[in-house]
Amino acid sequence: TFSTRTNGLIRDRSTLMSSLLQAAPAAHLPLANTHLRQFHQHQQFEHDDVISFYDDKVTQYANQQLQTVTLKTLLGLGRTPESGSSPHTLETNLQVARYARQELPVRLARLIKATQKLPFIVGTNPYIKSVYKLYYDSFQTITNSAEAQEIRTKEDLDKFAALLQGLVSSHADVVPMLSQGFQESKKYMNKADIKVFLDGMIHARIGIRLIAEQVISLWEQRNHHLQDEALDSKEQYMVGVVHTGLKPAELIRTCASFVQELCDVNYGSSPEVVINGQIDAKFTYVPVHLEYILCELLKNAVRATVEHSKKMGRSALTPHGDRKASPYSASSGSDARSMVVIDGEGDDSMDETKRVNEFGHPPVEVTIAQGDHEITIRIRDQGGGISRDNMESIFDYSFTTVKNENESSDSLDAGDGDSPYGVDSIFKGVSRLAMQAGLGGPIAGLGFGLPLTRIYAQYFGGDMHLISLQGHGCDVFIKLKQIDETLDNLQI
């Protein structure tokens, strides 16, 4: 199971799998603002009068200004006089909860309004309707429930944290639902409008999750501290969802093992992952965001590598998918396969980045660089790169080079009576969703990896760039700003 392999860095409640299915928010200021501006302009877009679920309360909240608090205050990282010296005091926890109580309904209301403005026919898609309903119900839950009215005491906080826990878990499948919904609706909306809507939606969702998770995590951590339980090395560094001593190398190693296993399940073999550069680097960041980014980019890198090996006739698979030693291997015949190699600086031993493994795959190389207030990670594969034609589309939602087995039956659905969605399309979708959430999940196929990864990378003012050396491989650069006082003017 994942939990045995992901102990340590990945939180119990947010297992790798659930975090893979979750979207989160944000972007570099200028860019984020552009997206958000477009997102809100988009609200004036269509069919106001047709929406039957028009609701005054939603409008009233949606029109409120978002609060401007510093990132440090929002995350409880600030050391205000009331909060004392520990981020795990009741006062800090209450302060963050009160902020969440005010802020979440406003953000949820904006998402609801934006979804209401989708073209009517898109709003009738069962997946999009379900997502809409989730946000609508969450908005009602937070604004109606007594425990959410005022948060003054420890008991108020306990109830509010429990309420948020329920909401967060009910939203776990929103991303695959959106993916399926817009996949089915792409005939009714142009690509650019889908992109503006989903960028805004996913950015907003990351913010909502971050605020809710921060309340829950601070609350859990304070309970933990109160119970005087021995804290493991990770817990000592956590302030809510923020890790104040996050080592990218450790997280890369965990994600790499997970992705290699996924690749083994899908293809019967996988490349090595070599981690080098400043492997001792540490910084302050939200581990679940970095974990999401790393897993998506590593999945892309290993998939490209294995498929390219196959194409080049280097793959060491028998027709039955059994493993067989390859003549290319530097270590063929060895049982002790080191799946993830950490390559320290000044290590003069054989160059791991050049060594093709026993399955014929060149390694994926992950290099860590620590700058002032930022970390750069480069993920380099030798998977053949991306063609010029595809380069234009890789950041589009739902663009994938994985073949869709349902392609022909999907288009049949469209011609089916009044509804654009065939009667059985929801059932087909469920099995696809089940597959995507199932054992290990797919290595690719949603076409959401790159666009989501970029939104996550930009959330705290970072960025992501992909460079394709067509015929050879790809370099992906992720630059992440450390969450510290330099980000205090950043609104998320």
Which residues contribute to the site for K ion (CB under 5 A)? 399, 447, 450
State the nearest-atom distance from the C-beta of 271 to ligand ADP, in Å.
12
State the nearest-atom distance from the C-beta of 475 to ligand ADP, in Å.
9
449 binds Mg ion (CB under 5 A): yes
For residue 340, give every residue at least 6 positions away whose Cβ sits within 8 Å of its Cβ, in sequence order, or none. Answer: 253, 256, 257, 260, 272, 273, 274, 275
Comparing CB distances to ligand ADP, the nearer of 161 and 450 is: 450
* Number of residues engaging Mg ion in binding (CB under 5 A): 3
State the nearest-atom distance from the C-beta of 436 to ligand ADP, in Å.
10
Its sign, for the CA torsion 265, 403, 183, 417, is negative
Q: Output the DSSP codes for 276-300.
A: EESTT--EEE-HHHHHHHHHHHHHH
Its sign, for the CA torsion 334, 268, 262, 368, is positive
The contact set with ligand ADP (CB under 6 A) reads: 296, 300-301, 304, 381, 383, 386, 390, 394, 399-402, 444-447, 449-450, 474
Residue 364 β-bridge partners: 273
Longest dimension (CA), the chain: 70
State the nearest-atom distance from the C-beta of 152 to ligand ADP, in Å.
46
State the nearest-atom distance from the C-beta of 402 to Mg ion, in Å.
9
State the nearest-atom distance from the C-beta of 438 to K ion, in Å.
21
State the nearest-atom distance from the C-beta of 361 to Mg ion, in Å.
18
* Range in contact with Mg ion (rule: CB under 5 A) among 195-203, 414-422, 431-439, 440-448: 440-448
Which phi and psi angles does 356 have, rounded to 5°?
-80, 135
Tokens 């817009």 correspond to 182
Q: Of Mg ion, ligand ADP, K ion, none, which one does residue 445 interact with (CB within 5 to 8 Å by kind)?
A: ligand ADP
444 binds Mg ion (CB under 5 A): yes
Tokens 């963050």 correspond to 96
Which phi and psi angles does 367 have, rounded to 5°?
-115, 130
Comparing CB distances to ligand ADP, the nearer of 194 and 386 is: 386
Comparing CB distances to Mg ion, the nearer of 246 and 444 is: 444
State the nearest-atom distance from the C-beta of 452 to K ion, in Å.
9
Q: Of K ion, Mg ion, ligand ADP, none, which one does residue 248 interact with (CB within 5 to 8 Å by kind)?
A: none
C-beta nearest to Mg ion: residue: 449
State the nearest-atom distance from the C-beta of 187 to K ion, in Å.
18
Comparing CB distances to ligand ADP, the nearer of 226 and 402 is: 402
Q: What is the 3-state secondary structure (H, E, C) of 143-187?
A: HHCHHHCCCCCHHHHHHHHHHHHHHHHHCCCHHHHHHHHHHHHCC
Comparing CB distances to ligand ADP, the nearer of 179 and 214 is: 179
Comparing CB distances to ligand ADP, the nearer of 417 and 471 is: 471
State the nearest-atom distance from the C-beta of 413 to ligand ADP, in Å.
22
Residue 341 β-bridge partners: 274
User: 280, 246 in Cβ contact below 8 A?
Assistant: no
The two beta strands, 364-371 and 463-469, are unpaired
Burial profile 280-319: b = 16 or more Cβ within 10 angstroms, e = fewer: ebbbbbbbbbbbbbbbbbbbbbbbbbbbbbbeeebbbbee
Comparing CB distances to ligand ADP, the nearer of 211 and 444 is: 444
Comparing CB distances to ligand ADP, the nearer of 262 and 446 is: 446
User: 257, 4 in Cβ contact below 8 A?
Assistant: no
* Range in contact with Mg ion (rule: CB under 5 A) among 39-47, 74-82, 430-438, 445-453: 445-453
Q: Of ligand ADP, Mg ion, K ion, none, which one does residue 483 interact with (CB within 5 to 8 Å by kind)?
A: none
The token duo for 455 is 């939104």
State the nearest-atom distance from the C-beta of 222 to ligand ADP, in Å.
38
User: 167, 138 in Cβ contact below 8 A?
Assistant: yes
Comparing CB distances to ligand ADP, the nearer of 3 and 470 is: 470
Comparing CB distances to ligand ADP, the nearer of 16 and 108 is: 16
State the nearest-atom distance from the C-beta of 463 to ligand ADP, in Å.
17
Q: Of Mg ion, ligand ADP, K ion, none, which one does residue 304 interact with (CB within 5 to 8 Å by kind)?
A: ligand ADP
Per-residue string for binding with Mg ion, 290-309, x by CB under 5 A? ----------x---------
Q: Of Mg ion, K ion, ligand ADP, none, which one does residue 402 interact with (CB within 5 to 8 Å by kind)?
A: ligand ADP
Reduce the DSSP state of residue 206 to 3 states and report it: helix
Comparing CB distances to ligand ADP, the nearer of 219 and 395 is: 395
Site for Mg ion in 62-81 (CB under 5 A): none
CA 169 – CA 468 distance, rounded (Å): 37
User: 130, 172 in Cβ contact below 8 A?
Assistant: no
What's the distance, CA 41 to chain centroid? Answer: 25
For residue 155, give every residue at least 6 positions away whose Cβ sits within 8 Å of its Cβ, in sequence order, or none. Answer: none
C-beta nearest to ligand ADP: residue: 449
> Among residues 161, 114, 162, 105, which one has the least CA distance to residue 137?
105
CA 266 – CA 40 distance, rounded (Å): 41
Comparing CB distances to ligand ADP, the nearer of 100 and 302 is: 302
Residues within the interface to Mg ion (CB under 5 A): 300, 444, 449
